Amino acid sequence: MSGLGRIPASVSGRRRISPSFRTLKWLSFAHSAIYIGLITLWVSDTAPGVKTILGWGHGWGWILMCVLCVLALRARVIPLWLAVCVAVIGAVGPFVGSIGFVVEERRHPERIARTP
């Protein structure tokens, strides 16, 4: 019963491919920066071409972050609550995921330091 709901660390002895915690953290910060630029251009109503590029960047960035967070969750690099913050809330507020990475890093610095 103790293994109920747990994801195995590996399947048939193979190591799972997953991004590191630090890589995910910095990608989340980059996604938040793209979103800040998008919001700034939306409010100022300038540079429609750049706004389009940042909009696509935000959309594809969110999809990429979702896929990477699922891989990291399955490899036990990040906890479920952080994956939910990035994947669910990250579509409309990527800052939540970035803040989540900072919180997790402060809560478990020893575990984060061990991740390559």
Tokens of 15: 């190591």
pLDDT in tens, the chain (116 residues): 444 445 455 555 566 688 899 999 999 999 999 999 999 999 998 888 999 999 999 999 999 999 999 999 999 999 999 999 998 888 788 899 899 999 999 998 876 666 55
Token pair 């991004």: residue? 19
- Domain ranges for the chain, please list them: 28-114
Q: What is the pLDDT of residue 109?
A: 82
* pLDDT for position 1: 43
Cα angle 70-67-76, degrees, rounded to a multiple of 5: 25
Residue 10: the pLDDT is: 52
* Pairwise CA distance, residues 109 & 33, whole Å: 24
pTM exceeds 0.85 for this model: no
pLDDT of res. 9 = 53
Residue 41, pLDDT score? 93
